[in-house]
């Protein structure tokens, strides 16, 4: 199954990439799993291999230090947006959606945006990492 696609404009990739995958599970199952920060190491190990909750906040332990991760409040729309505050204080907004496709499947779409100073090679590398995370998410959920 193909994972990922980029919006293109006049033959050139834009500064925003929409990367996605189809998961053969109900959207409610995908949303419940993906919205739980404790599951991040299972499907997005590039963000961090370990998570911890401290005083109601979630943190991912990265090689650079502890990053705070805050997901959108629970909702019925499949909005899985989250904000990552890196150890250096950089705030990264991560748009992520689970969109129902019938009763037994859904699409998960991750929006990747070029940040200031990001080269084409950096953007391509990040896109490959996101594609790998989405493929892992699909695998984890479809094997459950």
Reply yes or no on whether the pLDDT at 11 is more than 50.
no
Q: Give the start-to-end residue ranges of the domains of the chain.
A: 8-143
Q: What is the pLDDT of residue 9?
A: 41
Q: Mean pLDDT over residues 6-18, rounded?
A: 59
d(CA 42, CA 38): 9
d(CA 123, CA 115): 9
Over residues 136-141, mean pLDDT: 98
Tokens (6 digits) for 133: 């995370």
Q: Is the pLDDT of residue 117 over 90?
A: no
60 or 8: which carries more pLDDT confidence? 60
The per-residue pLDDT for range 47-78, each reduced to its tens digit, is 888 999 999 999 999 888 999 999 999 999 99
Instruction: Give the model confidence (pLDDT) of 79-104 as tens digits.
Output: 999 999 999 999 999 999 999 999 99
- What single DSSP character describes residue 25? S
pLDDT at 5: 44
What mean pLDDT value characterizes the chain? Answer: 89
User: CATH homologous superfamily of domain 8-143?
Assistant: START domain (3.30.530.20)
Q: Please give the Cα distance from 76 to 100 (Å, whole number).
A: 11
Local structure of residue 64 (DSSP, 8 states): T
Which has the closest alpha carbon to 2: 141, 100, 134? Answer: 134
């Amino acid at each position: 199954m193909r994972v990922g696609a980029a919006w293109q404009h006049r033959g050139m990739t834009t500064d925003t990439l929409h990367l996605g995958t189809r998961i053969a599970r109900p959207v409610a199952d995908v949303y419940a799993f993906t919205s739980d920060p404790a599951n991040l190491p299972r499907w997005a190990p590039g963000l961090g291999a370990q998570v911890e909750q401290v005083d109601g906040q979630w943190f991912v332990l990265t090689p650079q230090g502890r990053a705070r991760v805050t997901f959108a409040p629970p909702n019925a729309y499949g909005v899985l947006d989250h904000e990552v505050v890196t150890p250096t204080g950089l705030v990264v907004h991560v748009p992520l959606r689970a969109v129902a496709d019938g009763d037994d499947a859904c699409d998960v779409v991750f929006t990747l945006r070029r940040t200031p100073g990001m080269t084409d090679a950096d953007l391509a590398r990040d896109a490959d990492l996101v594609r790998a995370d989405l493929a892992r998410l699909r695998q984890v959920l479809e094997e459950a």
